[in-house]
Amino acid sequence: SQQGEEDPQALSIQEGENATMNCSYKTSINNLQWYRQNSGRGLVHLILIRSNEREKHSGRLRVTLDTSKKSSSLLITASRAADTASYFCATDLPSGANSKLTFGKGITLSVRP
Amino acid sequence: DGGITQSPKYLFRKEGQNVTLSCEQNLNHDAMYWYRQDPGQGLRLIYYSQIVNDFQKGDIAEGYSVSREKKESFPLTVTSAQKNPTAFYLCASSMMAGMNTEAFFGQGTRLTVV
């Protein structure tokens, strides 16, 4: 079973608009990470937020984490056509020697020029 | 030039054959992972390793085997016991599992059973 569940499954917006993607998870985590994948390629790390952090920024990216609701959101501001990709959240579980990185099913973002 | 390299990029296998996918990293990372990606399924964890000579099963380990004889290398064998092996396979590494570090991914191997 997958730990993270992203929402929505697909998102289509106009260039210049903001894109908001959500992720919910089931168990306690060390951190939550967001990744991007262009079609047929490997994943690229975007941002990591630790369990004791509530908000983090990186360029046009803003990530929030609510551990009480077990949820996170990724906001991409002023979107560009080049932001078109799949986005995944991943949770790093605090299971000690068996800590592992688990991914959700992903969100397909289309940014129309 | 540091990174994580998967080979081959495309692989074709006849039914009943075992095949081995290569994953090599020169990032001096302790943890390495293998994921399988199917359309609409996201990434599912097959095996992971936090240290040389040790590895753990992920969520879908049946029909797969791995070894971790060297820190740099984590090959994945898809055995004939894997009923539906056609998929996109991704290898990743990180500095140390559970230590708030990002994972780096290879470019993937697309395996097709013919």
Map residue A81 onto helix, strand or coil.
Answer: helix
| Nearest-CA distance B57 → chain A (Å) | 10
| B114 band by pLDDT with thresholds 50, 70 and 90 | confident
Which residue matches tokens 């056609």? B86
What lies within 8 Å, CB to CB, of B37 at 6+ separation is B43, B44, B87, B88, B89, B90, B108
- Mean per-residue pLDDT of chain A: 91
Over 60: is that where the pLDDT of A2 sits? no
Q: Does A10 touch chain B (CB under 8 A)?
A: no
pLDDT of residue A1: 47
A43:B90 CB<8 A: yes
Contacts 24+ apart (CB under 8 A), A67-70: A67/A28, A67/A29, A69/A24, A70/A24, A70/A25, A70/A26
d(CA A46, CA A49): 10
Q: Does A104 touch chain B (CB under 8 A)?
A: yes
* Among B33, B42, B106, beta carbon nearest to A101: B33
| Nearest-CA distance A113 → chain B (Å) | 25
- Residue B82 phi/psi, 5° resolution? -80, 115
Q: Could you report the per-residue pLDDT of B93-108, keeping only the tens digit for each?
A: 998 766 778 999 999 9
A41:B106 CB<8 A: no
Which pair of structure tokens corresponds to residue A23? 């992720």
Instruction: Determine the average pLDDT of the residues in A79-100.
Output: 84
Cβ pair B31, B97 in contact under 8 A: yes
What Å distances lie between residue B77 and A101, B68, B74, CA to CA?
21, 12, 10
B106:A42 CB<8 A: yes
Over 70: is that where the pLDDT of B1 sits? no
* Among B33, B35, B41, beta carbon nearest to A105: B41
What distance lies between CA B14 and its chain's CA centroid? 20
Cβ pair A81, A34 in contact under 8 A: no
Give the number of other CB atoms < 10 A from CB of residue A8.
12
Count of residues making up chain B: 114
B43:A41 CB<8 A: no
pLDDT of residue A87: 96
| B41 band by pLDDT with thresholds 50, 70 and 90 | confident
Which residue matches tokens 């917006």? A13
* Among A45, A95, A105, beta carbon nearest to B42: A105
Q: Could you report the per-residue pLDDT of A41-73, keeping only the tens digit for each?
A: 999 999 999 999 999 999 999 999 999 999 999
